[in-house]
């Protein structure tokens, strides 16, 4: 694997149209330090080395951030250790980012990371997606719903729909084997996926060469 560390992150971000200030770089460093510390006792990510985490998680999330508009209301479904939600919040400080997570220990980590890194535009919503989706204050609240955690594309669109405002967007972060899932959505005849139109397929490679793709849908 090609070594890719925090010092490489601003250049990577610039390649995708993002400019990271020194303050934002410091927020990423604080986030990484906390992640490494917590990961020793709470299973947050499988990677143990800083360069692996920066490559697999930070760099990946910044590509997603590049598709976010600066003042969007963003919901990250199943945020886990904060990907892609926290990097989006850091890279897009004028956006409003809500990270939805059911695991109590991961929620505690996210709250700690927000406080320690001073990420004022991010918040955590604890609970299962299905239960939060029916809350009046969250229904049709967001202009963008994104997830890297949900493995099934149809499930993602089904869960994203209640959170999205009209003409909002849903972005699914996928690996190279996305086409079968996409075919399943196209063949669907019932369900929330009928309200989504695929508008863009954005392929890219991580610094280690791993293939990734962002599937962007418009919600009607």
H/E element, 23: helix 22-39
Looking at the predicted structure, is the pLDDT value of residue 1 above 80?
Answer: no
Domain-located, residue 1? no
Number of domains in the chain: 1
Angstrom distance (rounded) from CA 32 to CA 29: 5
- 142 assigned to some structural domain: yes
Indicate the average pLDDT of the chain: 94
Q: Which domain holds residue 35?
A: 6-219
Answer whether 8's CB lies under 8 Å from 58's CB: no
- Is residue 96 situated within a structural domain? yes
In-domain check, residue 210: yes
Instruction: Tell me which DSSP letter residue 48 carries.
Output: -
64: domain CATH number is: 3.40.50.150
Q: Is residue 89 part of a domain?
A: yes
pLDDT of residue 3: 83
Answer for the pair 141, 165: CB distance below 8 angstroms, yes or no: yes
Share of the chain above pLDDT 90, in %: 87
pTM: 0.96
Listed residue (169, 13, 164) closest to 91, CA to CA: 13
The separation between CA 171 and the C-alpha centre of its own chain, rounded to angstroms, equals 9
Q: What is the pLDDT of residue 2?
A: 63
């Amino acid at each position: 694997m090609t070594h890719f560390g925090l010092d490489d992150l601003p250049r990577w971000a610039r390649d995708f149209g993002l400019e990271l200030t020194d303050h934002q770089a410091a927020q990423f460093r604080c986030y990484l330090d906390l992640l490494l510390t917590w990961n020793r006792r709470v299973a947050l990510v499988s990677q143990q080395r800083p360069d692996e985490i920066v490559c697999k998680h930070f760099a990946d999330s910044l590509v997603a951030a590049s598709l976010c508009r600066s003042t969007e209301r963003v919901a990250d479904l199943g945020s886990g250790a904060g990907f892609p939600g926290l990097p989006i919040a850091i890279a897009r400080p004028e956006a409003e980012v809500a990270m939805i997570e059911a695991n109590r220990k991961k929620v505690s980590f996210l709250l700690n990371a927000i406080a320690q890194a001073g990420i004022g535009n991010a918040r955590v919503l604890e609970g299962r997606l299905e239960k939060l989706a029916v809350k009046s204050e969250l229904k049709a609240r967001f202009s963008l719903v994104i997830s890297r955690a949900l493995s099934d594309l149809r499930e993602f669109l089904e869960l994203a729909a209640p959170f999205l405002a009209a003409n909002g967007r849903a972005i699914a972060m996928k690996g190279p084997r996305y086409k079968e899932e996409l075919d399943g959505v196209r063949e669907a005849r019932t369900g929330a996926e009928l309200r989504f139109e695929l508008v863009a397929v954005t392929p890219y490679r991580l610094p280690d060469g791993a293939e990734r793709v962002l599937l962007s849908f418009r919600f009607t």
